[in-house]
């Protein structure tokens, strides 16, 4: 039986001529480590849900990416994180928004999916639910990175709202994963720290089922980029519906990203279908991404190197 894993660490990167060899190696190594570790689990029979949650949690623990430990600072100096998980087999989903201190928001999202009558929890209520279910928390020190702090200070001085994937940023990204397991089931998971210096409790597309994250019995999708545009286009669900109505996976995915670009947005997405085919389009200079499986030679890429 086929199995496939695709993951991303965010769309929008430094230009190829600007990123240093050391930076490139650091990011590609982090993605490669996650890919190799989880592919072994998938090969041995790990479910699609277990696979995507494990992958995203591993990326959340890496300070390179804007999720979990590497999350950006909001306007008031907090780390407000969002995440979602969806099981394609039964379309159950769990999502969380604006939580602080939760070590792995994606694990909380899965716990909501499996042990809560609701799909979407936020803020203090979500944190209370996390404590009731003994989800791990970490101190503010765990989430602090010098670069993110500096980025926040610059944004405050300029009264600016910075995307996590702007060209002047060295570290990027919403993280996500999609998987097809050996049982023929699909799942998707996405996690983010949002936008630097964000105000008013802003929530992007990541935890919104059908916008930044979606899975059914045909396809699983995880998005990254300027969230407002992925919300307005219901991007992840649009991919699934286009594919269900007869478009190839490649056509469906590229059409959605093209639509977002027409509206003025940027970003990318990763998708896998029940046949194990993958698509990873983006309209930014690059997207941190990796994939592998029973019929796909494993790869890790940043820029437009023969993209699928």
Tens-binned pLDDT, residue by residue, of the chain (308 aa):
899 999 999 987 667 777 788 888 999 999 999 999 999 999 999 999 999 999 999 999 998 888 888 777 665 656 789 999 999 999 999 999 999 999 999 999 999 999 999 999 999 999 999 999 999 999 888 776 666 644 655 555 555 444 444 444 433 469 999 999 999 999 999 999 876 656 567 899 999 999 999 999 999 999 999 999 999 999 999 999 999 999 999 999 999 999 999 999 999 999 999 999 999 999 998 999 999 999 999 999 998 765 45
Catalytic residue (one of 174, 190, 213, 233): 174
Tokens found for residue 157 = 């001085």
Query: For residue 179, what are the β-bridge partners?
Result: 5, 187
d(CA 253, CA 91): 20
Among candidate residues 130, 127, 220, the one with its CA nearest the CA of residue 181: 220
Residues in contact with 117: Cβ distance below 8 Å, sequence separation at least 6, in sequence order: none
d(CA 130, CA 225): 27
Among candidate residues 273, 250, 279, the one with its CA nearest the CA of residue 186: 273
pTM here is: 0.91
Task: Kindly state the helix (H) or strand (E) to which residue 244 belongs, with its residue range.
Answer: helix 235-244
State yes or no: is 174 an active-site residue: yes
Q: Using alpha carbons, list the distances in angstroms from residue 125 to 106, 173, 210.
A: 16, 26, 23
């Amino acid at each position: 039986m086929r199995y496939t894993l695709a993951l991303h660490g965010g769309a929008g990167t430094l230009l190829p001529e600007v990123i240093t060899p050391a930076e490139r190696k650091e990011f590609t190594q982090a993605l490669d480590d996650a890919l190799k570790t989880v592919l072994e689990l998938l090969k041995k029979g790990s479910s699609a849900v277990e696979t995507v949650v494990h992958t995203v949690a591993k990326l959340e623990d890496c300070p390179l990416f804007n999720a979990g430990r590497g999350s950006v600072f909001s306007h008031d100096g907090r780390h407000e994180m969002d995440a979602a998980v969806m099981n394609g087999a039964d379309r159950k989903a769990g999502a969380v928004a604006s939580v602080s201190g939760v070590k792995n928001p994606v694990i909380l999202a899965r716990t909501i999916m499996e042990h809560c009558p609701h799909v979407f929890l936020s803020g203090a209520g979500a944190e209370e639910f996390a404590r009731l279910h003994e989800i791990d928390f970490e101190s503010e020190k765990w989430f602090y990175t010098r670069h993110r702090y500096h980025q926040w200070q610059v944004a405050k001085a300029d009264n600016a709202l910075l995307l996590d994937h702007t060209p002047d940023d060295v570290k990027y990204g919403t993280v996500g994963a999609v998987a097809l397991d050996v049982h023929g089931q699909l799942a998707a998971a996405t996690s983010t720290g949002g936008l630097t210096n964000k105000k008013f409790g802003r929530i992007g597309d990541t935890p919104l089922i059908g916008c930044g994250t979606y899975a059914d019995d045909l396809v699983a999708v995880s998005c990254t980029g300027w969230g407002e545009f992925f919300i307005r286009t219901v991007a992840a669900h649009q991919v699934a519906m286009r594919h269900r109505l007869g478009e190839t996976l490649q056509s469906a995915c590229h059409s959605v990203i093209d639509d977002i670009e027409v509206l003025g947005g940027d970003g990318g997405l990763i998708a896998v279908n029940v046949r194990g085919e993958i698509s990873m389009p983006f309209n930014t200079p690059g997207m941190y991404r990796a994939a592998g499986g029973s019929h796909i030679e494993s790869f890790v890429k940043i820029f437009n190197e023969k993209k699928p």
